[in-house]
Amino acid sequence: EIEGRGVLPDVAVPSERALETAHRLALRRIVPTIVDSAQRRQFEQIQHDVDADAAGRTTTQGG
């Protein structure tokens, strides 16, 4: 029974980092499956920027 306890996550992270973590994990699974090279480069850049943001570094998108 989980009443009162909630659901245990697949990846335990603080709630304020849950969306960011889900985004990063999704990109890690999706990027390797992209066949179109231009689209893959675009998603690799997004992945780089999301990872950089998570690490507190400046991204190529200026944020």
Q: What value does the mean pLDDT take over residues 46-57? A: 87
d(CA 52, CA 46) in angstroms, rounded, equals 10
Q: pLDDT by residue (tens digit) across 10-49? A: 888 888 888 999 999 999 999 999 999 999 999 999 999 9
pLDDT of residue 42: 97
Does the pTM surpass 0.75? The reply is: no
Contact 24, 43 (CB under 8 A): no
pLDDT of residue 63: 47
Helix residue ranges per DSSP H, 16-63: 18-30, 37-54
